[in-house]
Amino acid sequence: MAHSGLWGLVTTTFVASFVEFVEALTIVLAMGLTRGWRSALAGVAAAVAGLAAFTVAAGYALATWLPRSVLQFAVGTLLLIFGLQWLRKAIFRSSGLKAQHDEDAEFRARTATARLAGGQRRLGLDWFGFVVSAKGVFLEGVEVVFIVLTFGLAAGDVPAATVAAVSAGLLVVAVGLVASRPLTRVPENTLKYGVGLLLATYGTFWAVEGLGAWHGGGSLSWPGGDWALPAILAGWVTLSRVAVAGFRPARPAVAGQEGQ
């Protein structure tokens, strides 16, 4: 793979994983501080075990069963849809149609809910803290696994994508241990906008290359080969800035009226 492709792969998987791990950290911190660290960390361990099994099964299935051009088409299409969902949220947040994601507000809401929840115990664990931690880490982790597998397989370098994601996870855990509070100073909305642009760019590139699977079997070539990637990225940046300017309402959305 060319160096530009490797850097694109590493940057995208690192930043996307970093954002997801920050969100998972908020959930685990909220449970650990209100319901006890033993149950919260047991939830993390259960989620990591589930994610490992999911990664092996999905990775083996994708890498073994699909020819390269069909794989490019399948993962390119999935990445494109997935990336455009991120880009949609970023455009609506930048234009003011959707409130900005606020990690501090998320933490306050989760701790308030945790304090009001009942104290049911199973297997010696506070069940609420365990389940919320496990579910939160698993759901955020599935997004990381999805990006690492699809991106890694389409680019032909799963190990590089894995190293990038693991590095992001370790960095978030280290900073979280030092700070012992949600990482509210991380520019999450900006990072998500950047990841949305990169996922949309690579998704477009691979999905269109994969069209060759239905036309002769081999991958389709973009004019200029890999040099089409900067042009596609420039196209998505331009489109998103035009959309932000065009969709800006007279009154922006209020914080708290938004999803992830």
Partner 1 sequence: MRFLGAFGRFWYDFVIGDDWKIAAAVVAALTLGAIALAAGLPAGAAAPLTGALVAAGFLGALWVDAR
List residues near partner 1 by CB under 8 A. Answer: 73, 77-78, 80-82, 84-85, 87-89, 91-92, 95, 97, 142-143, 146, 204, 207-209, 211-212, 214-215, 220-223, 228, 232, 235-236, 239, 243, 247, 259
The residue assigned the tokens 């989760």 is 110
Q: Which is nearer to partner 1, 32 or 76 (CB)?
A: 76
CB of 185 to partner 1, least distance (A): 27
In the complex with partner 1, the residue whose CB is nearer, 24 or 91, is 91
φ and ψ of 16, to 5 deg: -60, -45
Strand partners, 126: 121
**3-class SS shares of the chain: helix, strand, coil, % to 5:** 80, 0, 20
Name which of 36 and 235 has its Cβ closer to partner 1: 235
Tell me whether residue 57 or residue 81 sits nearer to partner 1 (CB atom): 81
**What minimum distance in Å lies between the beta carbon of 52 and partner 1?**
18
CB of 72 to partner 1, least distance (A): 12
What is d(CA 20, CA 10) in angstroms, rounded to the nearest whole number? 15
Cα dist. 2→5, 145, 187, 242 in Å? 5, 23, 30, 31
Q: Which is nearer to partner 1, 188 or 209 (CB)?
A: 209
Q: What is the nearest approach in angstroms of partner 1 to the Cβ of residue 149?
A: 13
Are 75 and 150 within 8 A, CB to CB? yes
> If you count them, how many residues does the chain have?
260
